[in-house]
């Protein structure tokens, strides 16, 4: 029996990550040389995206064969094993940021474009499963780009375990990819929910509250602390909704409902520039495009949308 489908973009990764294969260098080498293995190149953290073959057909991820990657200088590029797809093929992400202009020069000339993942996701131009794989690829390549040197002694570290570890040859310290937990929550009281807004957001946009989980803090404690700090709302109870992998650079958004003790609130003026309570009927009207025009919520791309939608649906 499989897991229930997660409603959030970048979730529902279909790959078998086959983590037990990462410590088998011979198997990894075989897959890297296998002609049917697939590689997605990322240039400055942007994946290769192929254009629509015909109007309305949608775009595709630029999965490349081994031979093309070798032409791109695969030996010099950071390469990470992503997993095995349902057809039994090994998938990899490869960083080709060392190339000057791969869109217009070399074997990829005219093939496609290197596009920003957030924009692709917001436009709904790729299947959710492909977006989830690209989120994994982007986070891993970004981690390697940021952690090329040992944080213990400062020496340059080396990639190990198919990209899921870096080892310092000087002091032997081992370094592993990290995911930063972030709580994102919708305070509710009775038939009302509270949403806030920041100064830099577009006019009229309101969203859920959010903040990083601090060391030694539980999810519930982080929710209560952030809601109190930002909006002065006291929380009695916290319930879980869903999570969203967020590859900017590598966070996990933990969606929660924060059950408030009252409607009292006080905006901090730092994290939030404003906030207000909406009734369920008002939220439903906004989703239906029948609001008064003074407020709107994030699109389905964001987990905040799913939290507010869940409240609207009761």
Which of these, 190, 157, 209, 210, lies nearest to 278 by C-alpha position? 190
CA distance 137 to 156: 22
What are the residues whose beta carbons fall under 8 Å from the beta carbon of 90, sequence distance 6 or more? 31, 34, 37, 38, 81, 83, 84
Identify the CA nearest to 177 among candidates 206, 142, 130, 209.
Answer: 142
Work out the angle between the directed axes of helices 303-312 and 280-287 (0-180°, nearest 10). Answer: 120
Distances (CA, A) of 230 to 141, 155, 195: 33, 41, 11
The pTM (predicted TM-score) of the whole model is 0.95
Tens-digit pLDDT profile for the chain (314 aa)? 467 789 999 999 999 999 999 999 999 999 999 999 999 999 999 999 999 876 666 899 999 999 999 988 756 789 999 999 999 999 999 999 999 999 999 999 999 999 999 999 999 989 999 999 999 999 999 999 999 999 999 999 999 999 999 999 999 999 999 999 999 999 999 999 999 999 999 999 999 999 999 999 999 999 999 999 999 999 999 999 999 999 999 999 999 999 999 999 999 999 999 999 999 999 999 999 999 999 999 999 999 999 999 999 98
């Amino acid at each position: 029996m499989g897991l229930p489908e997660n409603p959030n973009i970048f979730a529902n990764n279909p790959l078998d990550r086959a983590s037990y294969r990462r410590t088998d260098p011979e198997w990894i080498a075989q897959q890297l040389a296998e002609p049917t293995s697939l590689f997605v190149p990322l240039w400055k953290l942007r994946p290769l995206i192929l254009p629509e073959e015909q109007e309305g057909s949608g775009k595709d991820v630029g999965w490349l064969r081994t031979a093309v990657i070798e032409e791109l200088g695969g030996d010099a590029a950071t390469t990470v094993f992503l997993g095995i797809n349902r057809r039994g093929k090994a998938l990899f992400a490869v960083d080709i940021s060392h190339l000057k202009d791969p869109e217009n020069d070399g074997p990829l000339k005219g093939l496609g474009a290197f596009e920003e993942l957030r924009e692709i996701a917001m436009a709904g131009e790729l299947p959710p499963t492909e977006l989830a794989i690209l989120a994994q690829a982007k986070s891993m390549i970004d981690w390697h780009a940021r952690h090329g040197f040992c944080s213990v002694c400062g020496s340059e570290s080396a990639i190990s375990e198919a990209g899921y570890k870096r080892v310092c040859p000087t002091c032997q310290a081992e370094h592993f990819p990290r995911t930063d937990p972030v709580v994102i929550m919708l305070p509710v009281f009775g038939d009302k929910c509270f949403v806030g807004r920041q100064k830099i957001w577009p006019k009229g946009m309101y969203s859920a509250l959010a903040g990083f989980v601090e060391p030694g803090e539980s999810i519930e404690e982080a929710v209560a602390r952030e809601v109190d700090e930002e909006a002065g709302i006291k929380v009695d109870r916290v319930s879980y909704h869903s999570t969203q992998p967020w590859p900017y650079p590598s966070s996990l958004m933990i969606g929660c409902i924060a059950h408030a003790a009252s409607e009292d609130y006080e905006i901090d003026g730092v994290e939030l520039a404003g906030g207000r309570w909406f009734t369920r009927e008002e939220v439903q009207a906004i989703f239906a495009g029948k609001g008064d025009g003074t407020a709107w919520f994030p699109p389905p791309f964001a987990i905040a949308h799913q939290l507010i939608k869940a409240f609207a649906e009761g």
